[in-house]
Amino acid sequence: MGTIRYCKKCGATLPEGVNVCPNCGMLQTSSSKSVLSAIIVVMLVTALLGVSFFMMLEDISKESERFFENSNNGNSMGDEGGNNSFVSQGEIMLLKDFSSPGWEEFDYAVEPSGVRVISTGTGYVIEADVRNLGLCEARSNYGWWSSDGRSCWGEWDFEFNDSETVDIQLRVGDNSPEPGAEYRVELDGSHLGDFQVPADDSWYIVIIPDVFVSAGKHTVFVGTYEMDFHPDYYLDYIKIGDLRLEGEEYSRSGGNDPNSDLQGLWVEPSDVKVQFWDGSPNDGGVLISEKTVGVPQVASDHKHLYLNNTFVTHFIPSNGVYTVNVSWDGSREFHKIYVVVDPYDELEEVDETNNVAVKTVNLS
pLDDT in tens, 270-301: 999 999 999 999 999 999 999 999 999 998 87
Band the pLDDT of 85: cuts 50, 70, 90.
very low
Band the pLDDT of 82: cuts 50, 70, 90.
very low
Band the pLDDT of 8: cuts 50, 70, 90.
low
What pLDDT is recorded for position 217? 97
Query: Higher model confidence: residue 68 or residue 127?
Result: 127
What pLDDT is recorded for position 241? 95
Q: Of 110, 158, 108, which Cα lies nearest the Cα of 136?
A: 108
- Predicted confidence (pLDDT) per residue in 321-348, tens digit: 999 999 999 888 899 999 999 999 999 9
What pLDDT is recorded for position 41? 45
What average pLDDT does range 61-75 have in this prediction? 40
The CA-to-CA distance between both ends of the chain, in Å, stands at 108
Q: What is the DSSP letter of 227?
A: -
Length, in residues, of the chain: 364
Task: Answer yes or no: are the C-beta atoms of 92 and 208 closer than 8 Å.
Answer: yes
Decide if domain 137-262 falls under CATH 2.60.120.260. yes
Band the pLDDT of 58: cuts 50, 70, 90.
low
What pLDDT is recorded for position 15? 72
Lowest mean pLDDT among 9-23, 84-98, 158-172, 263-277: 9-23
pLDDT higher than threshold 80 for residue 312: yes
Give percent helix, percent strand, percent coil of the chain, each to the nearest 5. 15, 40, 45
> Does the pTM exceed 0.75?
no
Query: Average model confidence (pLDDT) for the chain?
Result: 79
- Predicted confidence (pLDDT) per residue in 225-264, tens digit: 655 556 678 999 999 999 999 999 999 988 766 666 557 8
What pLDDT is recorded for position 79? 39
Task: Answer yes or no: are the C-beta atoms of 184 and 233 closer than 8 Å.
Answer: no
Query: Higher model confidence: residue 330 or residue 354?
Result: 354
Band the pLDDT of 352: cuts 50, 70, 90.
very high
- Predicted confidence (pLDDT) per residue in 193-218, tens digit: 888 888 888 999 999 999 999 999 99
Task: Answer yes or no: are the C-beta atoms of 343 and 130 closer than 8 Å.
Answer: no
Decide if domain 108-135+269-362 falls under CATH 1.10.3720.10. no
What average pLDDT does range 135-140 have in this prediction? 91
pLDDT higher than threshold 60 for residue 40: no
Q: Quote the CA–CA distance of 119 and 125 in Å, as a whole number.
A: 6
What pLDDT is recorded for position 151? 65
Residues of the chain with pLDDT > 90: what percent? 51
pLDDT higher than threshold 70 for residue 53: no
Q: Quote the CA–CA distance of 80 and 64 in Å, as a whole number.
A: 15
SS3 category, 165: strand
Burial of 106 per CB tally in 10 Å (0-12, 13-18, 19+): buried
Q: Of 93, 96, 92, which Cα lies nearest the Cα of 82?
A: 96
DSSP per position, 19-46: -B-TTT--B-SPPHHHHHHHHHHHHHHH
